[in-house]
Structures are given as C-alpha cells and as structure tokens.
Amino acid sequence: MVAATPKLPTTGYGLEVDGRLKVEFATAAGAKAGGEELKKRFPRLQVRIYDAETKAREEIRVP
C-alpha cells in the first residue's frame, strides 16, 4: 500500500516535520514562528521551512 504524498506548495512557505509537509504559511515570519514553537515543544523533531519561491529548505534550530 502506498501512502499519498502531499505536494510541495507552489507559493508561500511550508513547514516540514521529520521530512513530511505538515502545514503551509503565507509569510516567512509565520512559518518561522510556528517552526520555532514546535521545535521548543518537541526538540527531537527535525523541523524545516520550505520556501516555494526559491525551492530551498531552512532548518529550525532552537538553543
């Protein structure tokens, strides 16, 4: 059985958790705030922001 894979957003920003797209944001600031909050609550998760315009990912690191 093959699971459906959510498509990467074509605009805005996506929040990836452990390699899976979970939620989309319209702004970079919103995605960063959401990612940092999630990372603080669950520090062992790998949280990254996907920028649809540049097709780049940025890892969230919280001290």
pLDDT tens-digit series, residues 10-53: 889 999 999 899 899 999 999 999 999 999 999 999 999 999 99
User: Are 10 and 53 a contacting pair, CB within 8 Å?
Assistant: no
What whole-number distance in Å separates Cα of residue 46 and Cα of residue 27? Answer: 20
Q: Which two tokens stand for residue 45?
A: 């998760």
Q: Which two tokens stand for residue 43?
A: 């520090």
Query: In this predicted structure, what is the pLDDT of residue 7?
Result: 78
Residues constituting the chain: 63
Burial level of 7, CB count in 10 A (0-12/13-18/19+)? Answer: exposed
Query: In this predicted structure, what is the pLDDT of residue 55?
Result: 92
| Residue 1 clears pLDDT 70, i.e. is over it | no
